[in-house]
Amino acid sequence: MKKTKFAMLLVSLIAAQASLAARAAEMAEPLQPNEIKWSPVPPVLPAGARMVVLSGDPAGTGLVTFRLKMPPGYQIPPHWHPTDEHVPVISGTLALGMGDTLDRKHSKILRAGAYAVAPASMHHWSTSSVHSRLPTSMPPTIRATRGSMS
């Protein structure tokens, strides 16, 4: 069951990366906030948030910069990346935690203007308590963990 769920997660990520790559190619010039075209997050993430790829190719191996809008209570389950993930918080509040279990008691609360780095291979998760906007830079690979959410 867990292997099947993990395989489905990887297939969803691959399909989403192709879609996001097409959108990233459209953003070759500077953009004003009202020119940014937000889309639902790919199926590898829980529904409800919106994102935009600002630069890079999510289907490639290079650096990708994207923004994520998370509604209150939005949770990104435990996962990891093969490279560092840089997370500056533009607005709102983000709880960032390390490990395979989503447990807000063991998180650091980041407010607008805060910055965090999830080092390569570090299992981590996040949740928002108010509308949050985050730009994130990293190569595009996401790896699910076998952790839980509590």
Over the chain, what is the mean pLDDT? 78
Residue 125: pLDDT over 60: yes
The pLDDT, as a whole number, for residue 143 is 53
Question: CA–CA distance from 44 to each of 92, 141, 142 (Å)?
Answer: 23, 11, 9
pLDDT digits (tens, 9 = 90+) for 35-48: 989 999 989 889 99
Instruction: Tell me if 132 sits within 8 A of 92, measured CB to CB.
Output: yes
The predicted model scores a pTM of 0.69
* Other C-beta atoms lying within 10 Å of the C-beta of residue 109: 11
The Cα–Cα gap between 122 and 117 comes to: 10
Domains and CATH numbers, the chain: 2-149 (2.60.120.10)
- DSSP-derived secondary structure for 1-36: -HHHHHHHHHHHHHHHHHHHHHHHHT--S---GGG-
Average pLDDT over residues 23-42: 78
Average pLDDT over residues 15-32: 60
Give the three-class secondary structure for 106.
helix
pLDDT digits (tens, 9 = 90+) for 63-115: 888 889 999 999 999 998 888 888 889 889 999 999 999 888 889 999 999 99
Instruction: Tell me if 147 sits within 8 A of 77, measured CB to CB.
Output: yes
Beta strands in 35-141 (DSSP E): 39-40, 50-55, 64-70, 75-80, 85-88, 93-98, 101-102, 107-111, 115-118, 124-128, 132-138
